[in-house]
Amino acid sequence: MTLVAILSGAGISTDSGIPDYRGPQGLWRRDPQAEKLVTYDYYMADPDIRRRSWIMRRESATWNAEPNAAHRAVAELDRRPGVAVRVLTQNVDGLHQLGGMPDRKVLELHGTARTVTCTRCHVRSPMAEALARVAAGEDDPACTKCGGILKSATVMFGERLDPVVLGQAMAVAKACEVFVAVGTTLQVQPAASLAGIAAEHGARLIVVNAEPTPYDELADEVVREPIGTALPALLERLAGVEP
């Protein structure tokens, strides 16, 4: 059984209509102030930031997005005999699961946008419920259990990754035979370091990204072609089937 780890970033979801953050047309380059909306300290201290954040969530392209060929190719590889796939994703859109990957095989390093959590009592509930309250006129909905501040169950700037999830991801990176970093700039730590950990433990490292990354020199293969066509072809090759 060959263990293949897929570290996915925003670039894998752009074909689904979800813009990336750090690319040439990324959100942070177009509107640097938007980072405040997902920065924990700003969010907790400023009700206006929270109101704007809820507007951003309501208008997110995530809710109309469908898995694309790259997501489906990852799930298809996992169904091949002799191959086990684990997805380590920096994305919060849930498209890997919608594309066919079992939830237990997906580690969401930066959390999920499909759930909200209370910053006080930590109870979780569906994002759809919170957005329905916003649509009904609550511009900064509070926790219905304790009245605390709600946020999406994503890792904001200024927050640490869940140590359990990160530990599981590191274990996968150390154990895999092949590590594919796709659609990620490999600049956000500690997630980016998983590529280096995999290479150090003998994995074949493949980088699929339009722009250069800090880990290209470590890679056994670098692919600059569009992800929607390049990743399915690459995964077919890894499965031992010619595209």
Structure tokens, 81: 């005999």
Q: What distance in Å separates the CA atoms of residue 206 and residue 216, rounded to the nearest whole number?
A: 9
Q: Which residue has the tokens 């890792």?
A: 155
Calculate the dihedral angle through the C-alpha atoms of 198, 200, 204, 209, rounding to the nearest 10 degrees: 60
Name, in order, each residue with C-beta under 8 angstroms of 116's C-beta and a sequence gap of 6 or more. 124, 125, 126, 127, 129, 130, 150, 151, 152, 153
Contacts of 230 (CB under 8 A, 6+ apart): 208, 223
How many residues are listed for the chain in this entry? 243
Instruction: Check 96, 110, 122, 201 and give the catalytic one.
Output: 110
DSSP per position, 15-62: GGT---SSSTT-HHHH-GGGGGGGBHHHHHH-HHHHHHHHHHHHT-GG
Q: Mark whether 71 is an active-site residue.
A: no
How is the beta sheet containing 83-89 ordered, strand by strand?
106-108, 83-89, 2-8, 178-182, 204-208, 221-223
- DSSP SS3 for 115: strand
- Residues noted as catalytic: 110
